[in-house]
Amino acid sequence: MLLVLDDTSSGRRSDTAVHLHRGLVAHGAEVRSVALAPGGDGALDEAVPVLAPAPRSLAAMLQLRREQRWADLVVCAGDVAALLQRMTGPRRRASVQLVWSSPGNAGVTGRTFRHTDPLDAATLSSEELAEQVLAAAEAAR
């Protein structure tokens, strides 16, 4: 499984991706997390490999294509990541895009998994988040 972030900056999306990565590993999934480009504050620079100098670059697109070759599922934790994945990924590969939503709208819609901030105590644990994303992936296949 490939988990793709837009960049390595701190924030809700990167925190969610780290949270999801932990949950997927706990479920026994082989996960590789990458970022399309470095972030402003570089919070995840040491933990997440960066593919290119800029997220909307030809280099990012080509590197993402290479990274996708081994993955049976691509999870995009960012808008740019989702866009590049749709442009470069084989149509047969399952992909899921994480979308932030209000608590009443959480759930799975096609290839989109809508969820609330997982760091809030009232929301999903990393294992529950992983289970729901895996269910979304299964539905997308």
Long-range contacts of 18-23 (CB under 8 A, 24+ apart): 18/44, 18/47, 19/118, 19/119, 19/126, 19/129, 20/75, 20/77, 20/98, 20/118, 20/126, 20/129, 20/130, 20/133, 22/126, 23/125, 23/126, 23/127, 23/128, 23/129, 23/130, 23/131
Residue pLDDT, tens place only, 35-83: 999 988 878 888 899 999 999 899 999 998 888 888 888 888 877 877 7
Indicate yes or no: pTM above 0.85. no
The pLDDT of 118-130, averaged and rounded, is 60
Share of the chain above pLDDT 70, in %: 72
- Which one of 5-14, 88-97, 110-119, 121-130 scores highest in mean pLDDT? 5-14
Task: Spell out the CATH class of 2-140.
Answer: alpha beta
Please give the single-letter amino acid code of residue 69: R
Residue pLDDT, tens place only, 31-41: 999 999 998 88
